[in-house]
Amino acid sequence: DIQMTQSPSTLSASVGDRVTITCRASQNIYGWLAWYQQKPGKAPKLLIYKASSLESGVPARFSGSGSETEFTLTISSLQPDDFATYYCHQYNTDWWTFGQGTKVDI
């Protein structure tokens, strides 16, 4: 299985901060990586697919980058609605794997 290592596990930030979350794959996933935002009691919300493509309707302050085994999610200016847990997800193989999650709080 492809292991996904996400860091940090928690992140304290303030409104207006630039936030970066990193995900490392144990082998090349050819850019087949998604990022999700999840709030308590809700389904994961897709933010980014194919490593850097912004899902329709997602604010432009979210961006994804990376290739092969190293990927990042960046929030350019953190807004109050962005305090949530974020997950990376590789779908290069049918055996999906997920990062452990990053909780972004105040």
Partner 1 sequence: QLQLVQSGAEVRKPGSSVKVSCKTSGVTFNTFVFSWVRQAPGQGLEWMGRLIPISTAPVYAQKLQGRVTLTADKSTKTAYMELRDLRYDDTAVYYCAGVSNPTVYWGQGTLVTVSS
The reply on whether position 29 binds partner 1 by CB under 8 A is: no
Interface mask toward partner 1 for 61-90; x: CB under 8 A: --------------------------x-x-
Under 8 Å CB-to-CB from 93, ≥6 apart: which residues?
Answer: 2
Distance from C-alpha of 84 to C-alpha of 74, rounded to nearest angstrom? 14
Q: Which is nearer to partner 1, 17 or 55 (CB)?
A: 55
**Among 46, 61, 63, 72, interactor with partner 1 by CB under 8 A:** 46
Buried-state track 1-29, b at ≥16 Cβ within 10 A, e below 16: ebebebeeeebeeeeeeebebbbebeeeb
Q: Of 17-25, 44-52, 62-70, 73-81, which part binds partner 1 (CB under 8 A)?
A: 44-52
| Sites of contact with partner 1 (CB under 8 A) | 32, 34, 43-44, 46, 49-50, 53, 55, 87, 89, 91, 94-101
